[in-house]
Chains A and B, each alone.
Chain A
């Protein structure tokens, strides 16, 4: 079952012609952005030099750090009057990355979500519970509008209040749920404790963090559903960029909307299908914030182009990151963000360590912080205040709660060379 069969199965010459046309339009749009004007001038290329898809390789990469440099609206290719929505992602140095959408962008994005949900078996009349954060995080509104578009009855459940979530699934007869895989595990356990009857549930859509095949089997068996992996990032609209089909073997990325390259993250060399590397994406239908050769930081590979479902070439489920980004409860966290927050608090000493654990299937972040011995007052109450202050500052920047532990000066490991301040103890 297709939402847009022509586009979903487009291949060969027809696909390449469409991609080239859209690439040229995208390149033209980028010339409204100071960063890209400068990039083209420095690389000695003009927009009209992009004559074939192969010419894409003449264009330098765009990195997340470049987007940060444009905070807040430096990457807009259209006047603010055409902006219809704004989302943000947490940035690496305290400043968020801002993404903006025109009306057409919101339309294109919900079109992709509609394709994905139709692909995994959702139909008009199904009830879809969106247990995802509805604020600046793209996961909430992104799925909401896509599911509405195919005619689902959407339950905008948001995050938290697990018992109420389960009651709604049971009492409303919900057919599909979207959330992070770790939240799905938590929900499963609570539902089992409640002896809830979730028979109406057929489909689970899980994304925004890495999850294993074992976890998939566990979720499918215990909830009696089919569980599908969802991939996206705010810079490329949000969720819905790539999605599993019922084969559950790799994710279809929408080639009419994204050109995918896999590169060696060290050399930038483009790698052939079947080789693991960093995914670089050039979105083709973005108006407000067109990007060229955007380095996602995600490690995957292009698979054989032979999926029985008839759609185009897939990417493998994600292997990890080419940088030190972590995903905790679905939220991107860079150790440098934590460092930035801590460095702004004088009572904090030189060293810190971050530990990520999975407790009852939910991610827990613990941060050990050495205190600054020169600013120690001797009072326990001041230490408790400092602990709170650090926790609050981290929460404001990361939008994540962390368990802060104050430790003695000199007690944390010192690193020669590259510091390894993050210990991810999660097993997925």
Chain B
């Protein structure tokens, strides 16, 4: 079993923080018929990074590249959470106790459970530790087809 089956390909797209830019980014997904599962924006005053988990990352990457966007794949992990009060606490507490440092995170819900997307500095180690701690990771194939 390879650990990287849990590496979800997130698209990280550089975008200026001004009106109309989100629509422009969304339009590229729409035109390339790529579906977005999860999406977040991190911004630092005048610019930001749009983070998206999509069904067809390669297709989206090509579409953005053709339009001269600066973008990059980032490997992130998806940790399953129970969709009940305390679900995030349970996961976060365990991650803390096994010494996983999260660079950034965002969450969304699919079906009956929640997913916490985390970016960690060394995903290979993290996969091992997370599984050993009894948490469940979402395989990348659940999102990236």
Contact = CB atoms under 8 A, between A and B. Distances in A.
Interface of A: 371-373, 376-381, 383-384, 387, 405-411
A410 B68 contact: yes
Given A373-B68, A378-B72, A409-B69, A383 B14 contact: yes
Interface in B39-69: 42-44, 46-49, 68-69
B92 interface: no
Nearest to A377: B72
Contact of B14 (A381, A405, A408): A408
B70 to A, nearest CB: 4
B48 A378 contact: no
Contacts of B14: 371, 373, 376, 383, 406, 408
A409 B67 CA distance: 9
A380 B42 contact: yes
A405 B46 contact: yes
B16 interface: yes
Given A376-B71, A383-B44, A406-B14, 13 more contacts: A373-B14, A373-B71, A377-B72, A378-B12, A378-B74, A379-B12, A380-B44, A380-B49, A383-B14, A384-B44, A405-B46, A406-B46, A408-B70
A384 B49 CA distance: 11
Interface string B76-91: 0000000000000000
Contacts of B68: 373, 408-410
A383 B47 contact: yes
Contacts of A380: 42-44, 48-49
A411 B70 CA distance: 11
Given A371-B14, A380-B42, A406 B47 contact: yes
A376 B44 contact: no
Nearest to B24: A408
B31 to A, nearest CB: 17
A379 B46 contact: no
A377 B10 CA distance: 12
Given A378-B49, A380-B42, A380-B49, A407 B16 contact: yes
Give the top 7 A-B pairs by smallest Cβ distance, nearest first.
A378-B12, A378-B72, A373-B70, A410-B68, A376-B70, A378-B74, A380-B49
A405 B49 contact: no
A387 B14 CA distance: 14
Given A371-B14, A376-B14, A378-B12, A409 B70 contact: yes
Contacts of A384: 44
A376 B47 CA distance: 13
A115 to B, nearest CB: 49
B70 A371 contact: yes
Most chain A C-beta atoms within 10 Å of own C-beta, residue among B46, B68, B69, B70: B70
Most chain B C-beta atoms within 10 Å of own C-beta, residue among A373, A383, A387, A408: A408
A44 B12 CA distance: 65
B49 A379 contact: yes
B15 interface: yes
Contacts of A378: 12, 49, 71-74
Interface string B106-141: 000000000000000000000000000000000000
Contacts of B46: 405-406
A408 B15 contact: yes
B69 A373 contact: yes
Contact of A411 (B16, B48, B103): B16
Contacts of A405: 46-47
